[in-house]
Amino acid sequence: MSTLSPKDIRWLVIPKEHATFAHELSDESLADLLPVAKRVAKALDAPNYNILQNNGRLAHQVVEHVHFHIIPKPNEEEGLGVGWPGKTVDKEELKALAEQISAKI
């Protein structure tokens, strides 16, 4: 008998439409993905979890097809470990950057 639980492994949500990067997927495919990821996360009954999606080799993308990882985080040692140094940003500089991005959306 297996002692493996659904909370012990990561799960993938994979769109049928092929795209290497998330920004290449149709809006329809993107709109379909998050509700599926939500249902998988709820089915795992894991109180803590990460939903991860990587775009590009430098961002740790290995498979050249968009997919979302649902990774249970049962404790500090298991699951996804995320850490990067914080950065203090001037509020006016941040506001200017936000305006630049907003103009492109």
- Residue written as token pair 């991005």: 101
The domains of the chain are located at: 6-80
* pLDDT given at position 1: 54
The one-character DSSP state at 7 is G
Known catalytic residue: 67?
yes
CA angle 92, 96, 102 (to 5 degrees): 140
Tell me if the pTM is above 0.85. Answer: no
* pLDDT given at position 3: 64
- Reading the block at residue 4, the tokens are 């493996």
Maximum pairwise Cα distance, the chain: 59
Instruction: Out of 3.30.428.10, 1.10.150.120, 3.30.750.24, 3.30.365.10, select the CATH number for domain 6-80.
Output: 3.30.428.10
Please name the residue ranges forming H helices in the chain. Answer: 27-44, 91-104
Query: 66, 20 in Cβ contact below 8 A?
Result: yes
* pLDDT given at position 34: 93
Of 18, 65, 67, 69, the active-site residue reads 67
* pLDDT given at position 81: 87
Instruction: Of 94, 43, 88, give the one whose Cα is nearest residue 70.
Output: 43
Residues of the chain with pLDDT under 50: none
